[in-house]
Chain A
Amino acid sequence: MPKVSTSGSSTMIHSLFLVSSAGHIFLEKHWKCVISRSVCDYLFEAQGKASTPENVPPVIATPHHYLISVYRDRIFFVAVIQTEVPPLFVIEFLHRVAETFQDYFGECSEASIKDNVVIVYELLEEMLDNGFPLATESNILKEMIKPPTILRSVVNTITGSRELGKQGVFVWVMSLGSSCSMCLPVLQQLLFFAGSSNVGEMLPTGQLSNIPWRRAGVKYTNNEAYFDVVEEIDAILDKSGNIVFAEIQGVIDACVKLSGMPDLTLSFVNPRLLDDVSFHPCVRFKRWEAERVLSFIPPDGNFQLMSYHVNAQNLVAIPVYVKQNISFFETGSSGRLDITVGPKQTMGKTVEDVVVTVQMPKVLLNANLTPSQGTYTYDPVTKVLVWDIGKLNQQKVPNLKGSLSLQSGAPRPEENPSLNIDLKIQQLAISGLKVNRLNMFGEKYKPFKGVKYVTKAGKFQVRT
């Protein structure tokens, strides 16, 4: 158990390392003083013990530090901590960093981070002051550091224009590949920028207002507000198809492009469904408690307005049924597989994009199956069977069956494979949630409004 000191340092997050799943440290950033990257060895050690990167524990104690990491998009975001810091604080922040990269570069990957390393540093510098979160709202960040655009990246390539991050500690070591000679051009690019700058010289307007999430002076010619009600069903069904556990995770994603300072009110036909909710900070909680309406001044652009959670069993409809029979070593070194998927409670909608994924035991060499609909693949290396069904047909229920060839002489597998189901239903929120109306106050124009519903499978598993 390392002893962390409370006296020495006022930095919450000391350093950040980005590590690829292959164990390559491709970016490091220090806010106070340099911490040797060898500290990541403890992560690698944990990774060595874990079967997959997903299984690496998020909090690792080292003799002098704690490593708090999240694994996203095949990258470990590793924060080095020296003081007693709430780990959730750090984990939330790291996810925020990943989301910001996603937002800025369209994807959060080793390649996109390397390509935009200057912006990455600028962002990190802005997001943390002395290890404390500073500006993490996308709207504010975008006012201070502009996201890359094709035009600007051309201009920047020509002029080499980049601006330094604001302050902190400047050991901006980075490595692209292991050789030092490769680092040099990047450092040069990183440090030297002339002429036009990515960094705004003005104080972001939202930073100190009572609505820090919205910038001032937003103008659109087409004013529009779209809301997507997305529900995911998390469920575990037992081998005879009974529900062991089921719940719905819902979110309302918004894309709001409205001029000025619109004040919106969103109401539901059946708000009673929502008893477990998390809101974007813009939502006025008091109004929700009193009237069950969402009243808010929205951020500009895309954001998640709220998330909710329905786990009352009677409210969770299961849109499909699954019948399965998988057996090994019934006769000699072969087994049988027979899976049927059919529609159940679909409220009259079509179930689409149905995919069944099965992680098979190691002894399974190959599968010889016949689907009545869709296609199937079996990867003998990863032992993953994927059956891509597509749309579910009321009349003709899809079925996949055939024989499995097993490693002869191997013992019977100890585990039963679970089936993972993916699906999608358009124009339906499976909980029955419906938006009643959206009103706008504070601005004169008439916005275009739209609501879309979709239901998907979250962690939907069938045991065998």
Chain B
Amino acid sequence: MTDSKYFTTTKKGEIFELKAELNSDKKEKKKEAVKKVIASMTVGKDVSALFPDVVNCMQTDNLELKKLVYLYLMNYAKSQPDMAIMAVNTFVKDCEDPNPLIRALAVRTMGCIRVDKITEYLCEPLRKCLKDEDPYVRKTAAVCVAKLHDINAQLVEDQGFLDTLKDLISDSNPMVVANAVAALSEIAESHPNSNLLDLNPQSINKLLTALNECTEWGQIFILDCLANYTPRDDRESQSICERVTPRLSHANSAVVLSAVKVLMKFMEMLPKDLDYYGTLLKKLAPPLVTLLSAEPELQYVALRNINLIVQKRPEILKHEMKVFFVKYNDPIYVKLEKLDIMIRLASQANIAQVLAELKEYATEVDVDFVRKAVRAIGRCAIKVEQSAERCVSTLLDLIQTKVNYVVQEAIVVIKDIFRKYPNKYESVIATLCENLDSLDEPEARAAMIWIVGEYAERIDNADELLESFLEGFHDESTQVQLQLLTAIVKLFLKKPTETQELVQQVLSLATQDSDNPDLRDRGYIYWRLLSTDPVAAKEVVLAEKPLISEETDLIEPTLLDELICHIGTLASVYHKPPSAFVEGSRGVQHKRLPPRTGSGESTESPEGAQSAGTAVPEAVPAVIPSQGDLLGDLLNLDLGPPTTGVTPAPTSAMQMGAMDLLGGGLDSLLGGDIGGSPAVSHFFFLVIYNFPFFYGGSVFLFSPYLQVWLPAMKAKGLEIAGTFSRRAGVIHMELSLTNKAMSVMTDFAIQFNRNSFGLAPAGPLQVLTPLSPNQTIEVSLPLSTVGPVMKMEPLNNLQVAVKNNIDVFYFSCQYPISILFVEDGKMERQVFLATWKDIPNENEAQFHIKDCHLNSDAASSKLQSNNIFTIAKRTVDSQDMLYQSIKLTNGIWVLGELRLQAGNSNYTLSLKCRAPEVSQYVFQCYETVLKN
């Protein structure tokens, strides 16, 4: 007979029959019955009524039956918490069973029963299992502590399990140590500030001993834990490195990468002139190369991490260029990553090889890959000056292939080469012009137009070429339109006699026939410039441009350091800080590389200094200033002396900087004291300029659409649009930054002025890649409410300073107060009544919400999702009254009564609050929520 017998029961009295069988004296019959019960459970029948009977079967010596009952228990314990307690005794008993397999099974199952009432009773058995004589039970119990902590953290702490877990780090069995570390790391992650894994030289020593003996997965836990430790000095650092390096030869690539993380981090502390430092560098290369011969998925993760490693320490892999050469049947995701690393490793020494490869790739099948290869040639030209000529000729060869997308990419990168080496390669322009007709992508068209405009005086038929674009002006993308406008103006300034007509044509197209404000604005500016002062126009339009920077896509150094500490994680795959992955305010802890210490620094020999000197510029080209410089820049604007030296913690320093900056500026503004400092007067100008903009307009409310906060005109081409939101208890400022200028923008930072509710950025503004012209980037900036407080007018006004490589810009915006409504804003009924009475009547404000067609339930749920909680509902004379409460982040309570009458679309809202000035803003939120 097959298993199907368990499914063929008569419908009638099924439960009754099963009950009888479960209570049978015969063991076999009992077992069969439990199987039937579980069969029903699996197909979705409700057999929870049998709970007590099934639990009775739990007391058995038969392992199989026991497992089945455990299975049932885990499924129904949550819905039958009272009865689940009946199982407690058996668990307690099983935890003392002579068979360690049963003891472990019991403790494993316990952890999966997520019922509060039970967990309390399970503490004693767990405590015993944590001290069990059998290591198999101990290691299972260690994991159970993590499970229990997930259910009831307080209980685990009160019961002292954390201490027991810490003791297990000194266990004699390496597997127990590994599991204890895993459990502690897990718990510590949800309590970033707790000192759970309080690592000291003794515990580190124990971990290192266990590292050699535990399983590969345990090794990963231990290595990841070691990576969080900061050695006291370079000696300790070296001795840990020495004990970790054997892991580089492990067959499991996750072990290898975790070991690489530890070494990359601790290496930071070793003096560079130390012999061991060089040895370690040499040891790191082979395992990284080996990772590239693994399966493609492993290669991908490895390559993403190698990308970080070569940015931090290019010397490790500088001789390994060839392993990144692309094979034609590599998956596309591997190809693209390899290409990226090839460019990072490109240098004068290997550029010939690299170029030959890139040229080969340009004839591959995959279009994305070919495009990236062509771009890569351009990047090589910009990176390795000596190779520029060769790169240009390679690009010309590729243009000769006439393959459409190759030609277009080539033209885009040649434009960049022109910007890096002006007036050097104009000879190729003729070839480029031949391909004008085949360009159908905006970026390529814009690049071509830029080239024509820039070199208009050397192209005989520049006017004809540009005129040909002008015909379809309205069908072009904004990018092309803007370029065309500028190019024709350049042309006019260079050859004024024959191009008057053309320039007038383009100006009228831009200003009169276009709906695009950017285009119109630029058109007007040119027009006025040209008509009022052509000499000035020449100075402005034909000004010498800054050369473009060497490598544009390097990760910002502070972020890079943080990512190095997270090698092997998702963060390292996405090249984003871990805070981008972790929900909620807790759990984010910025990791930093340890500072270099020890004797090496001071006694560094000249040779050492020299070798460091050659390595460093390669490692961190000075294109992007470090966090310290960046803060320095901002602080320099302050009247006080610039802060130099120690880099303070980023967040607080930024807030401080903002305070000083804005505070000083505003004071001098209000005091009428326009100081002699250029920084202040500059600021003053901007503030004056901007004030009508933000106070003149009406108060805006929360809307999902982005508002333009800072128009490009007022910020040298940077346009900032944004909105606010509250997600999972965290306030976010959603920013959309658009570069409408001609040059790349980098080094973004943001600061807030003091404001009514202490809003402050919870982290630096994460604009990782430079913002190239016409590019828009969306950034979500988490905000905290622990910043300095100053009452603003209007109350929800927020003054913001944004800095980039060009300047500092100021704007002001208003946030919907609903982002401050906290999730635990539901008041107890009794408290609500008392508070309502307690607040004086003069604090009550009444508002009318018109044209709203929701019924009270819909309104209530809509409000609830915005943290406006309905505490009670009363219906009097077909009029619904909702009593509601709101709590703000600063602890202010707002109580409300919302009256809705059936058939009447006008609601009445009464708000009572001890701080009545917020009522107005709360009302606005009501209105927005209900009407959207």
A, B from the same assembly: yes
A interface residues with partner B (beta carbon < 8 Å) = 1-10, 50-51, 54-55, 57-59, 61, 66, 69-72, 81, 83-89, 91-92, 95, 129-130, 132-133, 136-137, 160, 162-164, 166-170, 172, 184-185, 187-193, 197, 201-203, 207-208, 210, 212, 234, 236, 238, 244-245, 247, 249, 275-281, 285-286, 288-289, 304, 306-307, 309, 311, 359, 361, 414-416, 418, 420, 459, 461, 463
Q: Judging by beta carbons under 8 Å apart, are B253 and A279 in contact?
A: no
When the two chains form their complex, are residues B331 and A185 in contact, meaning their CB atoms are under 8 A apart? no
A59 to B252, CA, bound (A): 19
Q: How far is the CA of A446 from the CA of B360 in the complex (A)?
A: 57
Q: Beyond A160-B1, A172-B42, is A278–B290 a contact (Cβ under 8 Å)?
A: yes
Counting from the closest, the 7 A-B pairs by CB-CB distance are A192-B3, A276-B286, A58-B297, A88-B254, A3-B583, A6-B587, A133-B217
In the bound complex, residues from chain B placing their C-beta under 8 Å from that of A184 are 7, 43
Q: A167–B110 Cα gap in the complex (Å)? A: 11
| Complex contacts, A69 vs chain B, CB 8 Å | 297
Q: How far is the CA of A277 from the CA of B283 in the complex (A)?
A: 11
Residues B297 and A50 in contact, CB atoms below 8 Å apart:
no
Q: CA–CA, A364 to B250, complex, Å? A: 46
Chain A: which residue is nearest B75 at the CB level?
A170
Task: Name the residue on A nearest B109 (C-beta).
Answer: A167
Alpha-carbon distance between A16 and B709 when the two chains are bound, in angstroms: 46
> A278–B224 Cα gap in the complex (Å)?
20
**In the complex, B6 has a CB within 8 A of chain A:** yes
Which residue of chain A is the closest to B360 with respect to CB atoms?
A463
Given A193-B3, A197-B64, A304-B251: A10 and B401 interface contact (C-beta under 8 Å): no
CA distance A88 to B572 in the complex (A): 11
CB <8 Å contact, A132 and B182? yes
- Interface hits, B140-195 → A, CB 8 Å: 140, 143, 146-147, 149-150, 173-175, 182, 186, 189-190
When C-beta atoms are compared, the residue in chain B nearest to A87 turns out to be B301
Residues of A within 8 A of B363 (CB): 414-416
Given contacts A10-B186, A55-B332, A187-B42, contact A84 B249 (CB under 8 A): no
Q: Which of B252, B327, B584 contacts A459 (CB 8 A)?
A: B327
Nearest chain A CB to B257 CB, angstrom units: 5
Are the C-beta atoms of B190 and A6 separated by less than 8 Å? yes
Contact of B758 with A by CB under 8 A? no
In the assembled complex, the Cα of A54 lies from the Cα of B332 at a distance in Å of 9
Decide: A10 and B327 in contact? CB cutoff 8 A: no
A197 vs B289: C-alpha distance when bound (angstroms) = 46
Q: Compute how far the CA of A100 lies from the CA of B92 in the bound complex, rounded to whole angstroms.
A: 36
Q: Mark B280-308, 1 if CB is under 8 A from A, else 0.
A: 00000011011001011110111000000
Residues of B within 8 A of A280 (CB): 251
Q: Which residue of B lies closest to A251 (CB)?
A: B251
Is residue B397 within 8 Å, beta carbon to beta carbon, of the partner chain? no
Closest A residue, CB atoms, query B150: A10
Chain A residue, CB-CB nearest to B586: A7
Contact-residue bracket for chain B: 35 or more
Which residues of chain B have C-beta atoms less than 8 A from A81's C-beta? 570
Q: Could you tell me the distance between the alpha carbons of A304 and B68 in the complex, rounded to whole angstroms?
A: 38
Chain A residue at minimum C-beta to C-beta distance from B174: A210
CB distance from B343 to the nearest CB of A (A): 17
Question: Which segment, of B100-108, B537-545, B690-698, B860-868, faces chain A?
Answer: B100-108
Interface: B701 (CB within 8 A): no
Within 8 Å of chain A (Cβ to Cβ): is B365?
A: yes
Within 8 A of A (CB), among B12-46: 35, 38-39, 42-43
| B328 contacts A by Cβ under 8 Å | yes
- Give me 14 other A-B pairs in contact (C-beta within 8 A), A84-B569, A279-B251 excluded: A3-B582, A66-B570, A88-B257, A91-B254, A129-B143, A160-B1, A185-B4, A188-B7, A192-B6, A203-B101, A247-B323, A280-B251, A285-B246, A307-B251
Pairs A–B under 8 Å by Cβ, sample size 7: A6-B587, A92-B298, A167-B105, A184-B43, A191-B3, A286-B246, A304-B251
Flag whether B816 is at the interface (Cβ < 8 A). no
Q: Which residue of A lies closest to B41 (CB)?
A: A170
- The stretch of B375-383, B573-581, B633-641 in contact with A is B573-581
- What's the least CB distance linking B77 to chain A, in Å? 12
Is residue B279 within 8 Å, beta carbon to beta carbon, of the partner chain?
A: no
Q: Is the beta-carbon distance between A191 and B216 smaller than 8 angstroms?
A: no
Decide yes or no: A281 and B2 within 8 Å by CB, A192-B39, A418-B328 being known contacts: no
Residue of A9, A190, A244, A245 ringed by the most chain B CB atoms within 10 A: A245
Which single member of A59, A170, A278, A306 contacts B42 (CB below 8 Å)?
A170
Q: B67 near A279 (CB under 8 angstroms)? A: no
Smallest CB separation, B560 vs chain A (Å): 19
Q: Report whether over half of chain B's contact residues are helix, strand or loop; otherwise say mixed.
A: helix
- Contact at B569–A86, with CB atoms within 8 Å? yes
Identify the closest chain A residue to B247 (Cβ): A285
Chain A residues contacting B428 (CB-CB under 8 Å) are none
Contact between B584 and A7 (Cβ–Cβ < 8 Å)? Answer: yes
B602 close to chain A: CB less than 8 A: no
Q: Are B728 and A3 in contact (CB under 8 A)?
A: yes
Cβ contact of B298, chosen from A71, A88, A129, A172, cutoff 8 A: A88
B893 contacts partner chain A, Cβ-Cβ < 8 Å: no
Q: Within 8 Å of chain A (Cβ to Cβ): is B258?
A: yes
Q: Quick check: A459 and B329 within 8 Å, CB to CB?
A: yes
Is the beta-carbon distance between A59 and B143 smaller than 8 angstroms? no
* Contact B220 A89, beta carbon cutoff 8 Å: yes
B68 touches A164 (CB 8 A): yes
Which residue of chain B has the shortest Cβ distance to A306 in the bound complex? B251
- How far apart sit A66 and B603, CA to CA, in the bound complex (Å)? 48
Within 8 A of A (CB), among B862-911: none
Query: Is B111 an interface residue when CB atoms closer than 8 A count as contact?
Result: yes
Quick check: is B403 within 8 A (CB to CB) of the other chain?
A: yes
A58 close to B300 (CB less than 8 A): yes
Q: Given A192-B3, A275-B286, verify A202-B254 contact (CB < 8 Å).
A: no
Q: Is the CB of B254 within 8 A of A86?
A: yes
- Near A by CB (< 8 A), chain B positions 555-576 give 568-571, 573-574, 576
Chain A residue contacts of B6, Cβ below 8 A:
188, 191-192
Residues of A within 8 A of B287 (CB): 276, 278
Residues of A within 8 A of B105 (CB): 166-167
Max chain A CB contacts within 10 Å: which of B71, B297, B356?
B297
Bound-state Cα–Cα, A451 to B140, Å: 41
- What separation, in Å, do the CA atoms of A69 and B190 have in the docked complex? 26
In the complex, which of the residues B101, B136, B296, B331 contacts A208, with contact meaning CB atoms closer than 8 Å? B136
Question: A residues within 8 A CB of B917?
Answer: none
Query: Contacts A4-B581, A167-B108, A201-B63 hold; do A309 and B290 have CB atoms under 8 A apart?
Result: yes
Contact B301 A167 (CB under 8 A): no
**Residues B298 and A91 in contact, CB atoms below 8 Å apart:** yes
Which residue in B136, B220, B250, B328 is a CB contact (below 8 Å) of A207?
Answer: B136
Query: Is there an interface contact between B101 and A201, defined as CB atoms closer than 8 Å?
Result: yes
Given A164-B67, A192-B6, A202 and B101 contact (CB-CB distance below 8 Å): yes
Please give, as numbers and ranges, the residues of chain B lying within 8 Å of A72 by CB-CB distance: 295
CB distance from A405 to the nearest CB of B (A): 21
Among B290, B580, B582, contact of A6 (Cβ-Cβ < 8 Å)? B582
Determine the chain B residues whose CB is within 8 A of the CB of A164 once the complex forms: 64, 67-68, 71
Chain B positions within 8 Å of A244 at CB level: 322, 325, 356-357
B251:A278 contact, CB within 8 angstroms: yes
* Residue B215 at the chain A interface, CB threshold 8 Å: yes
B135 close to A (CB within 8 Å) = yes
Determine if A59 and B286 form an interchain contact, defined as CB atoms under 8 angstroms apart.
no
Of all chain A residues, which has the CB nearest B252? A92
User: Known contacts A6-B587, A163-B64, A188-B2: does B293 contact A234 (CB below 8 Å)?
Assistant: yes
Residues of A near B140 (CB, < 8 A) are 129
B217 and A132 within 8 A (CB): yes
Partner of A50 from the list B64, B174, B332, B574 (CB cut-off 8 Å) is B332
Q: Which residues of A contact B748 (CB under 8 A)?
A: none
User: Of the candidates B39, B63, B331, which one forms a contact with A188 in the assembled complex, judged by CB atoms under 8 Å apart?
Assistant: B39
The interface residues of chain A lying within 8 Å CB-to-CB of B7 are: 184, 188
Are A208 and B570 closer than 8 Å at their CB atoms?
no
Question: From residue B209, how far is it (CB to closest CB) to chain A in Å?
Answer: 12
Complex CA distance for A95 and B254, rounded to whole angstroms: 12
**B71 and A167 within 8 A (CB):** yes
